[in-house]
Amino acid sequence: MKRVVVKVGSHIISDEGKISEERMQRLCEFLSDLMEKYEVILVSSGAISAGMCRVDIKKEGVVNRQMLAAIGQPFLMENYDRIMSNLGKNVAQVLLTAGDFDSRKRTNHAKNVIDALCERKILPIINENDATGIEEILFGDNDRLSAGVAHYFNADILVILSDIDGYYDADPRANKNAKIIPLISFLSQDELNQKPSAGSQFGTGGIVTKLKAANFLLENNKAMFLASGFELEVARKFLLQNKQVGGTLFKKEICKEVMG
């Protein structure tokens, strides 16, 4: 069975600083359908936004963010657990830092439990352990972590569900003529080194961290698909019907594949 890592940005599951029940419900229905066809691992941001629903602590400053994440993480998991169990699926929480992948021993420990959970059709929900690793709360929003998860846990593809529906030839917020690029097999240093720009108050990654994640996977002969997390139809068609009707697929040697 193929293995898919789905990464969801904080903006997708929160709305004006609150967890959006409706969006989480739609996301969970999608994940539940995917689990019928694939081994699925979810990397979910959103702990800080969830924390902000609970306590009046500002998002500014590293320790404040760590506190908000620590408060919000169990609340976020409670939501996933409730919605997924209504759909007949069990979930498990796994907290990692990108640094865990620097140690072969720690990577193996984590992979063993991920493999066992997938085998039992339980959805692992991964987030950064923000008490010991602060990289993603500062500038990654789990983009980098999810690329590590996809590579080191042997997934076939990483699907990033973002507030943007693909990679454009220019920033679509600044340029209304920007066009989506459906297929990418190579990323230039210029693209990878452009200045980060996050799309929202709750998103922190911006397009650059997604490109870096894609580049890491391309270098390791893996694929990444970037699509909207608000409108799940594109990701649904791509993964469940093998049809690309939108989004951006980052994959090496696309020509060969297309031509069979």
Residues near ligand ADP (CB under 6 A) are 9-11, 141, 162-164, 167-168, 170-173, 197-200, 203-207
Shortest separation between residue 98's beta carbon and ligand ADP, angstroms: 16
Determine the Cα angle at 140 with ends 220 and 44, to 5°: 85
**209 annotated to bind ligand:** yes
Residue bearing tokens 């994440």: 69
**Between residues 117 and 160, which has the closer beta carbon with respect to ligand ADP?**
160
166 φ/ψ sector (left φ>0, alpha ψ -120 to 50, else beta):
left
**5 annotated to bind ligand:** no
d(CA 63, CA 59): 9
**203 annotated to bind ligand:** no
Shortest separation between residue 119's beta carbon and ligand ADP, angstroms: 30
Contact of 57 with 64, CB cutoff 8 Å = yes
**The pair of three-digit structure tokens given for residue 174, joined into one six-digit string:** 């600044």
End-to-end CA distance of the chain: 22
**Between residues 44 and 117, which has the closer beta carbon with respect to ligand ADP?**
44
**Between residues 106 and 168, which has the closer beta carbon with respect to ligand ADP?**
168
Shortest separation between residue 36's beta carbon and ligand ADP, angstroms: 26
**210 annotated to bind ligand:** yes
**The pair of three-digit structure tokens given for residue 88, joined into one six-digit string:** 């007949």
**The pair of three-digit structure tokens given for residue 47, joined into one six-digit string:** 């702990």
Shortest separation between residue 23's beta carbon and ligand ADP, angstroms: 12
**260 annotated to bind ligand:** no
Binding residues for substrate: 45, 130, 142
